[in-house]
């Protein structure tokens, strides 16, 4: 893919033609969901957050808006939309859901379902000061460039585990967030 060639129409066509397999073996039972907000532009962006440095878990990490499913959520999609509204003030009605990716296990014991949605380009983000220290947009084409992700193999609880690492500007994108972005790139048919 050459620079500035991935349009929103290209992304949507690829995503909808290559529907993700929603079945994957996961170990965790507690449910969570994140919103993968794709900003509606001819050359779309990917909205990301940096978690507050004061949080008990994943402090300072780059992440998608999201969190645990609670008893008021009608679905995983509803949980992702609620969390996006709480964390960065994305109104649920402004998100066009286009699908979900297979769930992934988090190190904190959750089965996390990534929900892909298109958001308008003119939203005013208001980061929750308790949860989010920054909101930023990365060009989707740059985010989906597989060569930007570097593997690191680690041992966790006696099992080999691959973690993906990348930088964007001064943001360190790694772990589950980098893995989800990379999975999205593979899902739309980009080659490693």
Q: Write out the chain's pLDDT in tens, 192 residues.
A: 444 588 999 999 888 876 655 555 656 578 999 999 999 999 999 999 987 767 666 656 898 999 899 999 999 999 999 999 999 999 999 999 999 999 988 777 788 999 999 999 999 988 887 888 889 999 999 999 999 999 999 887 777 878 899 999 999 998 899 999 999 998 887 776
The superfamily (CATH) of domain 8-147 is: Nucleoside Triphosphate Pyrophosphohydrolase (3.90.79.10)
Q: How many CB atoms lie within 10 A of CB 177?
A: 22
Model pLDDT, residue 181: 95
**Binding-site residues for Mg(2+):** 83, 87
Spatial distance between the Cα atoms of 77 and 93, rounded to a whole number of angstroms: 12
| Sign of torsion over alpha carbons 29, 146, 170, 138 | negative
Spatial distance between the Cα atoms of 45 and 148, rounded to a whole number of angstroms: 16
The structure's pTM equals 0.88
Nearest residue to 116 (alpha-carbon basis) of 179, 47, 191, 175: 47
Strand pairing class (110-119; 30-39): parallel
Assess contact for 49 and 64: CB atoms under 8 A.
yes
Beta bridge partners of 136: 48
**Binding-site residues:** 83, 87
């Amino acid at each position: 893919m050459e620079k500035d060639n991935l349009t929103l129409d290209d992304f949507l066509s690829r995503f909808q033609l290559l529907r993700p397999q929603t079945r994957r073996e996961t170990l965790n039972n507690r449910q969570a969901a994140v919103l993968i907000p794709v900003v509606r532009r001819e050359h779309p962006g990917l909205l990301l957050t940096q978690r507050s440095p004061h949080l008990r878990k994943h402090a300072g990490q780059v992440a998608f808006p999201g969190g645990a499913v609670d008893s008021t959520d009608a679905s995983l999609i509803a949980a992702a939309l609620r969390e996006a509204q709480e964390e960065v003030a994305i109104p649920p009605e402004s998100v066009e859901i286009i699908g979900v990716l297979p769930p992934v296990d988090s190190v904190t014991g959750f089965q996390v379902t990534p929900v892909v949605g298109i958001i308008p380009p003119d939203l005013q983000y208001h980061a929750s000061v308790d949860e989010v220290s920054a909101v930023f947009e990365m060009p989707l084409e740059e985010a989906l460039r597989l060569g930007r992700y570097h593997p690191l193999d680690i041992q966790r609880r006696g099992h080999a585990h691959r973690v993906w690492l990348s930088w964007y500007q001064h943001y360190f994108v790694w772990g589950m967030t980098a893995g989800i972005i990379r999975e999205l790139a593979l899902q739309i048919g980009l080659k490693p």
